[in-house]
Chains A and B, each alone.
Chain A
């Protein structure tokens, strides 16, 4: 049919060998720096913010893995967060009177539990199309919140549950949680990246663009959506478990918090919906800010106002998110430097997946 020999796909300027190596080095360096962080900045106030930030990195990445890739906006992920939290609380009380590092072993279990919960929730929610889907996830969230208040045998209702407090001293207390959260965050990012690169991820992105066509081409859309939804639940559940352990106690409005859902969505949006590093960037920016707001403006509505305004500003001025916008700008610069007049687009396998930017990039000036 065709000579296969010398067809080479045009190369993305951000993917040249030199830049590849640079990126890899940067990745390793930043990973090492992140691990070293709590040992350098030992101020508990700082590391506390860091713990929460990492948890949100994980949760936002997980959210993005489903909602960013498929375009189905789920606003009920707090369900998994809370389920992970309560599962961990129950199990750790059962098995460990004293807290300790060994209790962290229950975190993946909590994630599994949340993942299991995600199966019927996802099955129910995914029967509907996009608009209804969002509302269903919100409704399911409220149901779970109510269940948390009412199933007192499991959750102790509004009195909340206490968790075993680990015997670590004040100086290093946060460090353990920091590292645990880091593990989960890295796992979330790695999972997100692996999914994006895979054929599975491609199917998700196709669903986002034209679900019926994808189904018509034989893609098992239902299976793919549900599987991803469960993965999201798994990761988010683990974050919730660490959260509960860190706080030392858990109550329904904190485990199942409406603002949580919106926060992780905002983080993903800010950073870049559908990209792997987007939610990370978003969480790194927003969570410290949010923590600062709550600390500085307690009680009054000022923190809410500022948060809402921040939110609106992000949506207004950075609708594509930081990472895709930066990636696009960088590409344009590099393109101009290489060959003026010829514009190339991104190739499929970059971790900064700006191929899935919230808005389609229209490359101007390309010979047709």
Chain B
């Protein structure tokens, strides 16, 4: 097993709020790993810590064995880690093509020449289906289109691992399927993924393995099918129903007899 990304015992507190409490998980190279959990469980904080936007209070972040804890986002990116954001970030006054080109500028000089060609960037735009809008300003795009541009910009750097923050959020079902399809395609080409997502259907559809966070730490790990019937996970989502998934037949909290703090009281 080749671990590409590894976080160990991350702790992060914001004022009175403990966002990460002994959070540990690893991402295997070549796989699509999902990171799920109820709102406020610390998923985005974990992303921010991994990619250098936040500094953890303690703990380790390693990319391909190299310690990047507390490194700047630029440095983490330089090690082949790409990332998209929940609230899409594009360069609004640049065209789509230019947005992608900025992505290709961020790589070390040696790689830059090859990646920076107009041709290659247009390819990437085409991959996300937006090549006919190459000269549009990114600021005039819809939310879903921006997501795609963001993805293409990250791809311009040929990252080893891409962290996607809610790729399926706020877009229509057709686009969601297209997004999933692209992720699958890229994964087949060898790109590793770590995906934060609330849309369970999406997660089940593309993830090889899933980690579940609750209140700042990982409470369960395993294959999607396994995890979704895991009682601890059901607990975490307060009542068992994982978003749009109906509870698995025959299982209710009363039957499992859980007594974890914060769980529903027995029926």
Direct contact of A and B (CB under 8 A): yes
Report which A residues bind B (CB closer than 8 A): 1-2, 4, 7, 9-10, 12, 199, 202-203, 205-206, 208-210, 212-220, 344-348, 355-357, 360-363, 366, 368
- Contact between A361 and B134, CB atoms less than 8 A apart: no
Q: How far in angstroms is the closest Cβ of chain A from B219?
A: 29
Q: Which of B83, B89, B127, B134 contacts A1 (CB 8 A)?
A: B127
Q: Is B77 interfacial (CB-CB < 8 Å)?
A: yes
Docked CA distance A217–B149 (Å)? 14
- Contact between A199 and B105, CB atoms less than 8 A apart: yes
Q: Which of B102, B118, B142 contacts A217 (CB 8 A)?
A: B102
Q: Which A residues lie within 8 Å of B139 (CB)? A: 360, 362
- Contact between B74 and A220, CB atoms less than 8 A apart: yes
Given contacts A216-B53, A218-B157, contact A203 B97 (CB under 8 A): no
- Chain B's interface size range is 35 or more
Q: Which A residues lie within 8 Å of B126 (CB)? A: 2, 7
Other than the known A9-B118, A218-B78, what 20 A-B pairs have Cβ atoms closer than 8 Å? A2-B123, A4-B122, A7-B122, A9-B97, A9-B131, A9-B135, A203-B105, A205-B94, A206-B102, A206-B105, A213-B89, A214-B106, A216-B53, A217-B105, A217-B157, A218-B105, A355-B93, A360-B140, A361-B137, A361-B140
Report which B residues bind A (CB closer than 8 A): 51-53, 72-74, 77-78, 83, 89-95, 97-98, 101-103, 105-107, 112, 116, 118-119, 122-123, 125-127, 131-137, 139-140, 142, 145, 153-154, 157, 185, 189
Question: Of residues B52, B73, B136, B189, which shows the largest number of chain A Cβ atoms within 10 Å of its Cβ?
Answer: B136
Docked CA distance A210–B85 (Å)? 13
- Contact between A345 and B136, CB atoms less than 8 A apart: yes
Q: How far in angstroms is the closest Cβ of chain B from A11?
A: 8
Given contacts A202-B101, A202-B105, A366-B136, contact A215 B74 (CB under 8 A): yes
Q: Name the residue of chain A whose CB is nearest to the CB of B83.
A: A216
Q: Which A residues lie within 8 Å of B153 (CB)? A: 217
Q: How far in angstroms is the closest Cβ of chain B from A144?
A: 33
Jot down 29 A-B pairs with beta carbons below 8 A, ordered by A: A1-B185, A2-B126, A7-B125, A7-B131, A9-B122, A10-B133, A202-B94, A202-B105, A203-B105, A205-B91, A205-B93, A209-B92, A210-B89, A210-B92, A214-B102, A217-B102, A217-B103, A217-B154, A218-B77, A218-B105, A220-B74, A344-B135, A345-B95, A345-B135, A347-B95, A348-B98, A360-B93, A360-B140, A368-B142
Given contacts A202-B101, A210-B91, contact A10 B77 (CB under 8 A): no
Docked CA distance A360–B138 (Å)? 9
Closest 8 pairs between A and B when the two form their complex, measured CB to CB: A218-B106, A216-B73, A217-B106, A209-B91, A360-B139, A9-B134, A218-B77, A206-B102
Q: How far in angstroms is the closest Cβ of chain A from B74?
A: 5
Docked CA distance A203–B116 (Å)? 12
- Contact between A2 and B136, CB atoms less than 8 A apart: no
Q: Which B residues lie within 8 Å of A366 (CB)? A: 133, 136
Q: Name the residue of chain B whose CB is nearest to the CB of A348.
A: B98
Q: Name the residue of chain B whose CB is nearest to the CB of A209.
A: B91
Q: Which A residues lie within 8 Å of B101 (CB)? A: 199, 202, 348
Q: Which of A2, A4, A10, A357 contacts B93 (CB 8 A)?
A: A357
Q: How far in angstroms is the closest Cβ of chain B from A332?
A: 15
Q: Name the residue of chain B whose CB is nearest to the CB of A345.
A: B135
Q: Which of A7, A213, A345, A361 contacts B91 (CB 8 A)?
A: A213
Q: Which of A1, A199, A206, A368 contacts B189 (CB 8 A)?
A: A1
Q: How far in angstroms is the closest Cβ of chain A from B91?
A: 4
Q: Name the residue of chain A whose CB is nearest to the CB of B89.
A: A213
Docked CA distance A209–B97 (Å)? 15
Docked CA distance A357–B106 (Å)? 24
Given contacts A4-B119, A7-B122, contact A360 B92 (CB under 8 A): yes
Docked CA distance A94–B76 (Å)? 53
Docked CA distance A252–B65 (Å)? 59
Q: Which A residues lie within 8 Å of B123 (CB)? A: 1-2, 4, 7
Q: How far in angstroms is the closest Cβ of chain A from B98?
A: 6
- Contact between A345 and B137, CB atoms less than 8 A apart: yes
Q: Which A residues lie within 8 Å of B78 (CB)? A: 218
Docked CA distance A122–B123 (Å)? 38
Q: Which B residues lie within 8 Å of A361 (CB)? A: 137, 140
- Contact between A206 and B91, CB atoms less than 8 A apart: yes
- Contact between B127 and A360, CB atoms less than 8 A apart: no
Docked CA distance A90–B102 (Å)? 44
Q: Name the residue of chain B whose CB is nearest to the CB of A222.
A: B74
Q: Which B residues lie within 8 Å of A210 (CB)? A: 89-92
Q: How far in angstroms is the closest Cβ of chain A from B66?
A: 16
Q: Which B residues lie within 8 Å of A219 (CB)? A: 74, 102, 105-106
- Contact between A363 and B91, CB atoms less than 8 A apart: no
Q: Which A residues lie within 8 Å of B122 (CB)? A: 4, 7, 9
- Contact between B93 and A348, CB atoms less than 8 A apart: no
Q: How far in angstroms is the closest Cβ of chain B from A158?
A: 45
Question: Of residues A210, A217, A347, which shows the largest number of chain B Cβ atoms within 10 Å of its Cβ?
Answer: A217
- Contact between A203 and B145, CB atoms less than 8 A apart: no
Given contacts A9-B131, A363-B140, A368-B142, contact A215 B93 (CB under 8 A): no
Q: How far in angstroms is the closest Cβ of chain B from A71?
A: 10
Q: Name the residue of chain A whose CB is nearest to the CB of B73.
A: A216
- Contact between A347 and B135, CB atoms less than 8 A apart: yes
Q: How far in angstroms is the closest Cβ of chain A from B152?
A: 11
